Amino acid sequence: MIIGVVGKIAAGKTTIAKFLEENGFCRISCSDPLIDLLTHDVDAYSWIPELPQKAEPTRDKLIEYGRYLKETYGEDILIRLALDKMRHCKNVVIDGVRSRGEIEAIKRRGGAIIYVEARPELRYERLVKRKAEKDRTIKSFEDFKKLDDEEERLYHTSKLKDLADFVIVNEGTLEDLRKEVKKILEFLNTLVVIAPCLLSPFTVYRGPKEKEYRAASALIRLFGKYHYLKILAYPCPEFILLGFPRLPASRGLYEKLGMREYAKRVAEFIVRSIEEEQPSRVILIGVKGSPTCGVFHTTSSDPEKYPYKRMEEFKKLSKKERFKAAKEVIKEFKLVEGEGILFEILKGRIEGVYLEFDKDDLEESLERIEKILRDAL
């Protein structure tokens, strides 16, 4: 996991980075590669773009050389160098991210961005207290404001807030800030277990209809907003048992066909994945009415009236013919309360948040998922 921290002078970027370091992250600042290059301390890198003339890394020199590197080697050069220096680390926090290009570079690698902010007066108080060597030229609040305004002019820092995944207002105690960081870490360690047909509708028994395409597209967009989450789309138990295409069947029919043993195998895969990943929380999303993946509703029908002889014939039909035949078969099905076979097994083994996705009520289903995601923050 990569986390980039963005914010104005003395907003709390380094403090957040240190909290993350306490939680197993390797900490590096965007200015570290600049300092290393200017002081010729480059042994930790597997590559460097160039070795400049040796110089003292003052604030002005860092700004000047940083601008030159970005113009010459790309807006993401400092991110690439920082990650190269930390290449042996599993989790990295980069303090002092300062541009859209750097943010996009982190997000392209699956990372997340935290924006931290505070009132100018409070930030000045912190700057005075920290007595950093790089701040020695700041003698008054007016000096601070001048530097703050200059940094905004150079980097447009406040506009980067809109690109952040998380925003922290750091105007309380250190413990308040620590709690905010902890919540974000728990959020980032969420595992979403989702029925595979919701993301890739081609495994639906008769092939995808327009509503399946819409559902998949909407979910991909939603998870794109939360691109750092872990998504587990498990193997479709119905596909494992009967292949594709397959005549629609109710829960009772699948029980008769031996689905429970196949569902147990899929459940074992999901359980093991959770045990190995150790997520902070698990969200399990099934499909309303599914005989295997229904969460609160499944389907029922009379097994004695089912057209078993048509199962092989169905596999040979064209898509248009399958849609027509499937429509006739499901006339005998009823939507009933209860879990599908797989989710009945999962509920007995996994503690988590269980959500049911209704393809016929796309908007409400999406709102429900996003509310659960955001409630953690």
Domain range enclosing 146: 2-182
Same domain, 176 and 200: no
pTM of the full predicted structure?
Answer: 0.87
Triad 141, 143, 146: Cα angle to 5°: 110
Residue 272 and residue 166 share a domain: no
Q: Quick: pLDDT tens for 68-118.
A: 999 999 999 999 999 999 999 999 999 999 999 999 999 999 999 999 999
Question: Within this chain, do residues 123 and 203 fall inside the same structural domain, yes or no?
Answer: no
Q: Structurally, how many domains does the chain consist of?
A: 2
Given 161, 182, 203, the domain boundary residue is: 182
Q: Are strands 92-95 and 297-300 parallel, antiparallel or unpaired?
A: unpaired
Write down the H helix ranges in the chain: 13-22, 31-39, 59-73, 77-85, 100-108, 120-130, 141-155, 174-188, 196-199, 210-225, 237-242, 251-256, 259-277, 310-315, 319-329, 341-349, 362-375
DSSP 340: -
350 vs 267: CA distance, rounded Å: 10
Domain closes at, from 119, 150, 182: 182
| Token pair of 253 as six digits | 């029919």
Question: Is the domain of 27 the same as that of 157?
Answer: yes
Q: Do residue 127 and residue 234 come from a single domain?
A: no
CA gap 214, 201 in Å, rounded:
10
The domain boundary residue, chosen from 182, 199, 230: 182
Question: Are 37 and 161 found together in one domain?
Answer: yes
**CA-to-CA separations, 123 to 4, 127, 129, in angstroms, rounded:** 20, 6, 10
Cα of first residue to Cα of last residue in the chain, in angstroms, is: 19
pLDDT at 279: 96
The verdict on 171 and 147 lying in the same domain is: yes
> What is the residue-wise DSSP string for 122-167?
HHHHHHHHH--GGGTT--SHHHHHHHHHHHHHHH-GGGGGGG-SEE
CA angle at 352 for the pair 258 and 338, rounded to the nearest 5°: 45
Q: Provide the 10 A C-beta neighbour count for residue 162.
A: 9
Q: Which CATH number characterizes residue 55's domain?
A: 3.40.50.300
Same domain (yes/no): 220, 351? yes
pLDDT at res. 67: 92
How many angstroms from the chain centroid is the CA of residue 17?
19
| pLDDT digit string, tens, across residues 311-346 | 999 999 999 999 999 999 999 999 999 999 999 999
Kindly state whether residues 22 and 87 are assigned to the same domain: yes
CB atoms under 10 Å from CB of 231, counted, come to 16
* pLDDT, position 138: 79
**Confidence at residue 25, expressed as pLDDT on a 0 to 100 scale:** 97
Residues 209 and 277 in one domain: yes
Q: What pLDDT is stored for residue 374 in this prediction? A: 85
| Summary mean pLDDT of the chain | 94
Do 45 and 120 fall into the same domain? yes
**Residue ranges in the chain whose pLDDT is less than 70:** 132-135
In the numeric block, the tokens 């604030």 are attached to 59
Q: Are residues 140 and 210 in the same domain?
A: no
Q: What angle do CA 22, 158, 230 make, to 5 degrees?
A: 45
